[in-house]
Amino acid sequence: MQGRDLKCIDEVLQISLEDALSSQEVEVAYICSESTSHEDYIRTFFGRLVWKWIAYHYINIRQFLNAGKHILVEYPMTLSRAAAQDLWELAEQKGKVLHEEHVELLMEEFAFLKKEVVGKELLKGSLLFTAGPLEEEQFGFPAFSGISRLTWLVSLFGELSLVSAILEERKEDQYMKMTVCLETENKRPLTWIEEKGPGLKRNRHLSFHFKSGSLENMPDVGVNKNIFLKDQNVFVQKLLGQFSEKELAVEKKRILHCLWLAEEIQKCCC
The catalytic residue positions are: 74-75, 101, 104, 148-149
120 contact partners, CB below 8 Å, separation of at least 6: 210, 211, 212, 213
Q: What is the DSSP string of 54-114?
A: ES-HHHHHHHHHHTT-EEEEPSPS-SSHHHHHHHHHHHHHHT--EEE--GGGGSHHHHHHH
Indicate the burial class of 224 (C-beta count within 10 angstroms; 0-12, 13-18, 19 or more): middle
Paired strand residues for 176:
169, 196
Nearest residue to 186 (alpha-carbon basis) of 210, 160, 165, 209: 160
Positive or negative: CA dihedral 210, 213, 216, 221 = negative
What does the DSSP assignment read for 27-52?
-EEEEE--SSSEEEEEEETTTEEEEE
In the DSSP assignment, the letter for residue 121 is P
